[in-house]
Amino acid sequence: MSYLLHLDSSSIGTASISRQVANSFLDAWTGEVVHRDLAASPVPHLSAAGVSARVTDPAEHTAEQAEAAAVQDELIAEFLGASAYLFTVPLYNRTMPSVFKAWLDQVIVDGRTTSRSGEAPAAGRPALVISARGGGYGPGAPNHGKDFLVPTLECVLADPTLFGLDVSFLTPELTMAPMVPAISHLVPLHEASLAEAHEQARLRAEKITQQLAA
């Protein structure tokens, strides 16, 4: 086992439900953890220099290309060095926080982290995405079908032509129920969803640890 790469992207620090559930995973994790807080220290959005640096001989890089390439190299090495992944990615405005999308754009590089013609370097490695959301998005809920985070990350993270990770999701819901009077009657459902997420996070950590030790 090498290490768990833990990426945070919630803007609200310790008040984040996604981060709190992630802590239950970490409490049950017994290996090394490399943590990157994308909200506290955002990575740059992919620039023209970053794109062109990928197809330019490093010996011919401009200063701007060299700087952009160094960012990508650091993030890619960190990603590929991990044996498992924990992503805390809350649902913001129906999709992922922009800081997490910026990280994805920096590390998705064909021939390095992804492969169109063969198996990606990290294919099959376990990953857990924890994504808290203020309302309910399951079948029968008013917002059902309006979650564009889980489907997107399931495609990007699990697609064999991209990362090919063995990814699962925990989605504690109705986190606004304790604060919004109009949905306060849903607090018991929120509490049940949150308790289940904490328990499943611990179980997932134990399962991944056992897989990696086998």
Would you write out the chain's pLDDT as a tens digit for each of its 214 residues? 689 999 999 999 999 999 999 999 999 999 999 999 999 999 999 999 999 999 999 999 999 999 999 999 999 999 999 999 999 999 999 999 999 999 999 999 999 999 887 789 999 999 999 999 999 998 888 899 999 999 999 999 999 989 999 999 999 999 999 999 999 999 999 999 999 999 999 999 999 999 998 8
CB atoms within 10 A of CB 203: 13
User: Is the Cβ–Cβ distance between 161 and 114 less than 8 Å?
Assistant: yes
pTM: 0.95
Burial 10-19 (b: 16+ CB within 10 A, else e): beeeeebbbb
Residue 134 sits in which domain range? Answer: 3-213
Per DSSP, helices labelled H in the chain are 17-28, 48-53, 63-80, 98-107, 150-158, 187-213
What are the residues whose beta carbons fall under 8 Å from the beta carbon of 33, sequence distance 6 or more? Answer: 3, 4, 6, 26
pLDDT of residue 140: 86
The tally of domains found in the chain comes to 1
User: Is the Cβ–Cβ distance between 202 and 158 less than 8 Å?
Assistant: no
Q: Which two tokens stand for residue 72?
A: 């990508």
- For residue 203, what is the domain's CATH number? 3.40.50.360
